[in-house]
Amino acid sequence: MSIECLEHKSKMRLPVSFYLLSVWLGFLCVIIVFLWSGTWRGGFAWDGSFLQFNWHPVLMVTSLVVLYGNAIVLYRVPLTWSRWWCKLAHAGLLFMAVVLAVVGLCAAFDFHSANNIPHLYSLHSWTGISTVALFTLQWFVGLCAFLLPWTPLAIRARLKPLHIWMGMAIFILSLITSLSGINEKLLLTLNGRNGSNTEPYTALPAEALLANSLGVLVVVFGLVVLKILSNPKWKNPEFENETDRPLLTDAR
């Protein structure tokens, strides 16, 4: 390969600094949601109290936003690994996200049951349960279609465009659900009820500033991830064709 071709290929790859920006923003999201639940909301427990519910925002932001977002941009990262290992890393991160999301849902449902609060009454809960259900289905279909070696290559090629579109759609739903959850949490807690002695949300106390900042970071992180995914110049051509060779040969 000529020097000109190598230079052209390097220009077509995702800049490492841009990818590190997405990682850094995701890390900040996790840190801030931990601070919010651990400092202003009193910490964590698993006893049906408000402390148990504090796990919910931490686990959902970590799984559906940060882990999910980093998993779906792996195919753009300019690393010298094979398609097989990239698929394993992609599936592994998404599996971790599924597990954490399910635990986060359990924290919310257990809290509601222990305190006689109705389940699935809000728009946030509707979008949240739909997002987790679609995410779980997407992961299972992706496992069967793209990791199992006996799946026909023609089926992989047909499913890939839908798999990519659904992945982006689920990520956008995750962002929407997270933002609505942050706002709903603030409206329900910063109101002088439920034992809260803090200023109301409308007074914009320190907790509200922190949580609003978390929402802004979630939006910025989502925009960076979507930018990475939407730029066709940053696609790795070695990962684009699902019919060029059997999956097992990629592991050699």
- Domain assignment present for residue 181? The answer is yes
Domain region containing 238: 14-244
CA distance 213 to 67: 19
Q: Does residue 153 form part of some domain?
A: yes
Residue located via tokens 């257990």: 110
In the chain, the number of structural domains is 1
Per-residue model confidence as pLDDT tens digits over 9-47? 445 567 788 889 999 999 999 999 999 999 999 999 999
Tell whether 30 is covered by a domain.
yes
Q: Is residue 221 part of a domain?
A: yes
Domain assignment present for 233:
yes
pLDDT above 50 for 250: no
Indicate which CATH number applies to the domain containing 114. 1.20.120.1770
Please state the separation of Cα 23 from the chain's center in Å. 12
Is residue 5 assigned to a domain? no
Could you tell me the CA-to-CA distances from 1 to 5, 6, 240 in Å, in that order?
Answer: 6, 7, 20
Give the pLDDT confidence score for residue 144 in this predicted structure.
95
Q: pLDDT higher for 113 or 191? A: 113
Q: Is residue 219 part of a domain?
A: yes
213-230 pLDDT, tens digit per residue, is 999 999 999 999 999 999
- The Cα 56–Cα 64 span in angstroms is 12
Whether 6 is in a domain gets the answer no
